């Protein structure tokens, strides 16, 4: 029995080593094609393959032969993700591999690279949504709406970055009159409670002080936390649906319509009890008001507070921003 097992193990190692060699060939062709192209690129590719194949191939074989070794599919995904991040990779890769006679490998690799799953897919993420109030009202024309969208994205980026949240690391989807932002799990949700809303409310107040009437803005924002799954078209999942239902809560729209506030914020019961209740930063949990949300098939418990407004004085702009609940 032992010789049979040894033989099988040896075959597996050789197969992994062979696959590793192919992987290095692709890497060499990609590197050469990305930076040089033509005959010179192929020459560089050949040198890279000859030099690197024995080293990388045997390294991968060693790792795969060990208990709990590296999965080759995972290695391919890592490589595909790196390819996807390279500038002009989509142009350089097919031409370089086709010239090298590796069209089949190029097609397979492109399949991996065209839809790399983000590292946070399936994990609990902070789900942030924003919506411009009365975006389609008749007093506004398309130029006004374009100006509002530009201003909204500039304010969101500024508020996120000033709160220590990397805007570039977030997954973003445009919603026409708003935006969906998925904040990776590594970023504390507490930053989206304090100081981000305060920074956003102050930016809105400054914008509204100088904007013409048709370009003044009220903003609704919603915050939830839960697992988010993704595909090549975007993100989905029940947690994203809950966030969207919170944003459309009639009670939030009514409060903003009857009170002079620049920003209306609604958070899920989970966010309130896990984050807001414990008062991160300068947030006073008592300024949030509990509400019941009924939107389509959803029946949800949530918490609302209104921030800012036309009555902000100079002291408020320097940090004493009132919260209305």
The single-letter DSSP state of residue 237 is S
In degrees and rounded to multiples of 5, residue 324 shows phi and psi of -105, 135
What is the percent of the chain where pLDDT is above 90?
A: 54
Give 174-199 pLDDT, tens digit per residue. 999 999 999 999 999 999 999 999 99
Beta-sheet pairing, 219-227 with 263-268: parallel
Identify the CATH number of the domain defined by range 124-324: 3.30.70.1230
Domain boundaries, the chain: 2-114, 124-324
pLDDT number for residue 59: 56
Give 93-122 pLDDT, tens digit per residue. 445 444 544 554 555 444 444 556 788 999
- Answer for the pair 125, 228: CB distance below 8 angstroms, yes or no: yes
The single-letter DSSP state of residue 215 is G
**Within 13 Å and on the Cβ side, how many CA atoms surround 260?**
6
pLDDT number for residue 278: 94
Give 208-255 pLDDT, tens digit per residue. 999 999 999 999 999 999 999 998 899 999 999 999 999 999 999 999
Name the range with the highest mean pLDDT among 101-105, 113-117, 128-132, 297-301: 128-132
pLDDT number for residue 57: 58
- What does the alpha-carbon distance between residue 222 and residue 179 come to, in Å, rounded to a whole number? 11
∠ Cα 153 302 220 (to 5°): 20
């Amino acid at each position: 029995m032992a010789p049979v097992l040894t033989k099988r193990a040896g075959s597996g190692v050789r197969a992994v080593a062979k696959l590793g060699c192919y992987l290095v060939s692709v890497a060499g062709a990609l590197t050469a094609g990305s930076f040089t192209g033509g005959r010179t690129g192929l020459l560089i590719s050949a040198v890279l393959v000859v030099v690197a194949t024995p080293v990388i191939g045997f390294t991968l074989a060693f790792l795969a032969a060990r208990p709990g070794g590296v999965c080759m599919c995972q290695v391919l995904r890592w490589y595909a993700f790196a390819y996807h991040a390279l500038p002009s990779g989509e142009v350089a890769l097919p031409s370089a591999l086709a010239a090298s006679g590796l069209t089949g490998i190029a097609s397979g690799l492109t399949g991996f690279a065209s839809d790399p799953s983000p590292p946070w897919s399936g994990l609990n993420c902070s789900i942030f949504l924003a919506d411009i109030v009365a975006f389609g009202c008749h007093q506004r024309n398309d130029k006004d709406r374009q100006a509002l969208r530009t201003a909204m994205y500039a304010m969101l980026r500024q508020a996120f970055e000033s709160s220590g949240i990397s805007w570039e690391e977030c997954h973003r989807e445009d919603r026409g009159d708003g935006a969906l932002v998925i904040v990776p799990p590594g970023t504390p949700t507490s930053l989206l409670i304090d100081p981000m809303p305060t920074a956003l409310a102050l930016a809105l107040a400054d914008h509204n002080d100088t904007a013409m009437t048709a370009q003044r803005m009220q903003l609704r924002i919603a915050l939830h936390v839960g697992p988010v799954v993704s595909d090549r078209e975007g993100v989905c999942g029940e947690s994203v649906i809950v966030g969207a239902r919170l944003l459309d809560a009639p009670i939030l729209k009514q409060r903003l319509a009857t009170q002079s506030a620049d920003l209306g914020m609604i958070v899920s019961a989970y966010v309130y009890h896990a984050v807001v209740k414990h008062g991160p930063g300068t947030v006073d949990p008592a300024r949030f008001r509990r509400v019941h949300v009924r939107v389509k098939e959803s029946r949800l418990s949530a918490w609302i507070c209104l921030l800012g407004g036309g009555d902000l004085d100079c002291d408020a702009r320097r940090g004493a921003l009132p919260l209305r609940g």
